[in-house]
Amino acid sequence: MPNMTTVKTTTQPSIQTEVDLSTYNTMALRSVCHTAYFLQNAADVQVALAMAEAQQLPVLVLSGGSNVILPDYLQAMVLLPRMRGIEVITEDAHHVDISVMAAENWHELVVSCVQKGWYGLENLALIPGMVGAAPVQNIGAYGRQIEDNLLSVTAYHIPSKQWQTLSRAQCEFGYRDSIFKQQTGQWLITQVNLRLHKDASITHAGYGDVKQYAETLAAAANREQINPGDVMAAIIAIRQSKLPDPKQLPNCGSFFKNPIISTAQFEKLQQQYPDVVGYVVSPTQTKIAAGWLIDNAGLKGQGIPPILTHDKQALVLTNHAPRLEIKHASQQDILATQSYIQQQVFSRYGITLQREPVWIASDGSVIEQ
Ligand SMILES: Cc1cc2nc3c(=O)[nH]c(=O)nc-3n(C[C@H](O)[C@H](O)[C@H](O)COP(=O)(O)OP(=O)(O)OC[C@H]3O[C@@H](n4cnc5c(N)ncnc54)[C@H](O)[C@@H]3O)c2cc1C
């Protein structure tokens, strides 16, 4: 069992039944679960799983709920990690290796690392959710992914009932992908170990408008070189200007993946739409910006109420139920707008959009497209 010396306890009762998860998912969907088990420490993991097995309840791990679309009712035991703590494992003049418990808030971790002079995570600032969920889809933004700083992950392997520490290679990271996503429902991550750098010049700002913004911040502070703090501040400002805050307008970030199409198909599209946005990913393939496809089809701010694309970032589906004084939105409402957008985009460009968030069935399993 992993070392839990830094665990902070909460006053939340560990087990509750018939829990409304509306406030536990950033899309604010009403979803009631049979049982919710708040995991205060690693020992709770085995206790909760034994209880679920005895009650023949499937399990679902729910952390910050910022990448899930939940059903109306979950006939399952929902495991909510609440174990917290950050520990320095080793430190030298160049690096610091830290161990972070699953329920630490990701963005707060990024900010506190940069403030301490530990660099490498700054490009991933303002991504919602908890640390334990971050390796699941290998969170990424502005040219960096968590795998760039990840040493290992401690997780409970549910089928074999074994604790395991997986090296970065064993995590099988890919673009928004990992072994934890591939083998969904089989792992419960409790601890993530990261290596951070003390050399500020390792910072990566060479992506989009971040560099320009960071340079403006450095110049305003009479510095010639940008530092990781500038990069983080630039990214926070850029993200805040484009992405809706789930607390103000419920959403789960990018709803559609950027499709990868053949470069031949992309060039054909470019003849018709010269400003189409694409990035070459291989000699024959181009990744196309799903947000551009939706926006260019005139679908910004559109959809089937109460679920509409965001009026500043068409890639994000937003829940307007509270604003429209509709009691609550459901998975079916999301599906209606998802299908509408997919149909419109397909009929215009012949490209099928795929959703990014994890779609949960009523037994806690994941439903693919
Ligand atoms: C406004 C907004 C912006 C976003 N921007 C980005 C972005 O730039 N880049 C990006 O990559 N993502 C982004 N996301 C998506 C999301 O924030 C990330 O995927 C995040 O890591 C999800 O964390 P969570 O704690 O909310 O996980 P949850 O939504 O609770 O869970 C996500 C999945 O991980 C599983 N899971 C959760 N915790 C664990 C655990 N401890 N062990 C095993 N499995 C677990 C769940 O079962 C589920 O399948 C954004 C979301 C929002 C709302």
346's enclosing H/E stretch is helix 331-349
For residue 253 and ligand 1, the question of a CB distance below 6 A is answered with yes
- pLDDT computed for residue 11 by the predictor: 52
Give the atom of ligand 1 at the shortest distance from the alpha carbon of 244. Answer: 1
Q: Give residue 348's region: left, alpha or beta (phi > 0; psi -120 to 50).
A: alpha
37 vs 121: CA distance, rounded Å: 30
**Catalytic residue numbers?**
176, 254, 356
- pLDDT computed for residue 325 by the predictor: 87
CA of 125 to the centre of ligand 1 (A): 13
For residue 78 and ligand 1, the question of a CB distance below 6 A is answered with no
CB 61 within 8 A of CB 188: yes
Which residues sit opposite 138 in a β-bridge? Answer: none
Give CA angle at 142 (201, 101), nearest 5°: 80
For residue 137 and ligand 1, the question of a CB distance below 6 A is answered with yes
- pLDDT computed for residue 369 by the predictor: 74
Alpha-carbon distance values, 290 to 252, 255, 353 (Å) = 16, 9, 7
44's enclosing H/E stretch is helix 42-54
CA of 66 to the centre of ligand 1 (A): 5
For residue 21 and ligand 1, the question of a CB distance below 6 A is answered with no
CA of 64 to the centre of ligand 1 (A): 7
The residue nearest atom 8 of ligand 1, judged by CA position, is 141
For residue 251 and ligand 1, the question of a CB distance below 6 A is answered with yes
The residue nearest atom 28 of ligand 1, judged by CA position, is 65
Going by the DSSP 8-state scheme, the letter that residue 92 receives in this structure is: -
CB 99 within 8 A of CB 153: no
Among 60, 67, 104, 177, say which to mutate for ligand 1: greatest number of ligand atoms within 8 Å of CB.
67
30 vs 357: CA distance, rounded Å: 17
9 vs 21: CA distance, rounded Å: 21
For residue 102 and ligand 1, the question of a CB distance below 6 A is answered with yes
**Of residues 149, 112, 122, 120, the one with CA closest to residue 217:** 122
Alpha carbons within 13 A on the beta-carbon side of 42: 21
- Side chain identity at 57, as an amino acid letter? L
Give the atom of ligand 1 at the shortest distance from the alpha carbon of 356. Answer: 15
**Of residues 228, 200, 210, 226, the one with CA closest to residue 122:** 228
Give the atom of ligand 1 at the shortest distance from the alpha carbon of 124. Answer: 8
For residue 67 and ligand 1, the question of a CB distance below 6 A is answered with yes
For residue 153 and ligand 1, the question of a CB distance below 6 A is answered with no
Give the atom of ligand 1 at the shortest distance from the alpha carbon of 63. Answer: 30
All structural domains of the chain: 15-81 (3.30.43.10), 86-241 (3.30.465.10), 251-360 (3.90.78.10)
Alpha-carbon distance values, 212 to 205, 217, 223, 245 (Å) = 9, 9, 14, 24
Among 63, 166, 189, 252, say which to mutate for ligand 1: greatest number of ligand atoms within 8 Å of CB.
63
Alpha carbons within 13 A on the beta-carbon side of 296: 19
For residue 135 and ligand 1, the question of a CB distance below 6 A is answered with no
For residue 191 and ligand 1, the question of a CB distance below 6 A is answered with no
CA of 232 to the centre of ligand 1 (A): 20
Give the atom of ligand 1 at the shortest distance from the alpha carbon of 141. Answer: 8
The residue nearest atom 19 of ligand 1, judged by CA position, is 67
CB 329 within 8 A of CB 28: yes
CA of 70 to the centre of ligand 1 (A): 13
C-alpha R_g of the chain: 21
CB 193 within 8 A of CB 89: yes
- pLDDT computed for residue 9 by the predictor: 46
CA of 104 to the centre of ligand 1 (A): 13
Question: What tokens does 279 get?
Answer: 């990035």
Question: What tokens does 133 get?
Answer: 């969920």
Going by the DSSP 8-state scheme, the letter that residue 357 receives in this structure is: S
User: What is the chain's pLDDT, residue by residue, as a tens digit (369 residues)?
Assistant: 444 344 444 456 699 999 999 999 999 999 999 999 999 999 999 999 999 999 999 999 999 999 999 999 999 999 999 999 999 999 999 999 999 999 999 999 999 999 999 999 999 999 999 999 999 999 999 989 999 999 999 999 999 999 999 999 999 999 889 999 999 999 999 999 999 999 999 998 876 689 999 999 999 999 999 999 999 999 999 999 999 999 999 999 999 999 999 999 999 999 999 999 898 989 999 999 999 999 999 999 999 999 999 999 999 999 999 888 888 999 999 999 999 999 999 999 999 999 999 999 999 999 987
